[in-house]
Amino acid sequence: MSRLFGTDGVRGLANGPVITAEMALSMSVAAARVLGQAGATPGHRPKAVVGRDPRASGEFLAAAVVAGLASAGVDVYNAGVLPTPAVAYLTADTGADFGVMLSASHNAMPDNGIKFFARGGHKLADEVEDQIEAAMGERWARPIGADVGRVVAMQEGHTRYIAHLLRVLPNQLDGLKVVIDGAHGAASMVSPEIFRLAGAEVIEIGTAPDGLNINDGYGSTHLGPLKAAVVAHGADLGIAHDGDADRCLAVDAAGVEVDGDQIMGILAVDMKERGKLAHDTLVATVMSNLGLLQAMEREGIRVLQTGVGDRYVLEEMRAGGYSLGGEQSGHVIMLDHGTTGDGVLTGLMLAARMAATGRTIADLGTVMTRLPQVLVNVRGVDKNRVESDEGLQDTVRREEAALAGSGRVLLRKSGTEPLVRVMVEAPTQDEADAVAHRLAGVVRERLTL
């Protein structure tokens, strides 16, 4: 049987083969047994914070999770619809034993998912997820009487999270006009409010969730409406969230996208100037553009690169005591203020940098020059021979030598499909296209199944 947990919790079609009420109930009971007693003293009564994004399926899945936790003797703080980083923050802030978030992030509405946070609001290690899976369906001693969990509506969760973000903001946003796209998701009732409280003039789009429209034509995966709104309203900045608001992309006054690499570059320079960039180091993944690495070298900032996935970025940050990391997709982690990617915090910090310097986001974004980047997916090949096939590796070395430090080549095997991803960066788009397609041809030739 394949592993239920993926790189970011359990995710799939809600009410489909995997993400069912029965599974949510069973998994929450197992999580209560594994996480509720982890490091606890005898007689400890565990507590959990539960939140969700506004998908319709989140209503019945949250009910199943809350029922499972309470039946296993866990007191539940039901925070309702909140961003994923808010649930992580509240887990830490309340001293809860763990947190549960029901969301499928940027996926379309029919999907949903479950992710857990350990004590302190941190993502679970693989081995802990495996313990939860192993405990599902096992016999267990059910508490009775006063030992069953109690369920409380955590109505103050929204304001506690907002107050936290306003406390860490280095300066007000007075004078800025900002368009916020909430993706009809969990940011809808939080992000515009925080920006207004911080002093910005706010125009809202994608902030009317009805349970069915999350990520539907809006948000970080559909930037067209945000670009149009920023230009139409003469705004200084556009901020786009995904469904659970753990990521942020931006748009400048001309409607041009500012991606996660540029955002990390802007924030790294800002934090270094303010003495907040621990060890003068930024943690990014191998997919970050070479232009970011070159820019950070010029600014005296070291870049550590990890495998693809914000969990790997977070692991490196926690191991080395670093304060800033993220992904090109807009997941940005600021460990001084949160334990996971926080799109609302990221947007606030970008706007704060603009307000403090009087510079436009387009001007700030010139900290780095993006090299043309091409990604080609080669399907139907033996991905496991990528590193061992000498003919392919010889070709990679020749192409890298020809780029002579002005570009780079990266071959990555998919974790779920017979597929190899060929990524090439080069000084010009034509050169990047040519190298990528030459390499893709060699991958097909050498690794055919």
Active-site residue set: 105
Residue for token pair 């109505």? 155
**Rounded distance, CA 28 to CA 246, Å?**
23
**Rounded distance, CA 350 to CA 218, Å?**
21
- Cα within 13 Å of Cα(348), Cβ side: 28
**Rounded distance, CA 400 to CA 318, Å?**
32
Query: Which CA distances in Å does 396 have to 70, 375, 403, 420?
Result: 55, 15, 11, 14
237-241 sheet: strands from edge to edge: 201-205, 177-181, 237-241, 248-251, 257-258
**Rounded distance, CA 183 to CA 241, Å?**
6
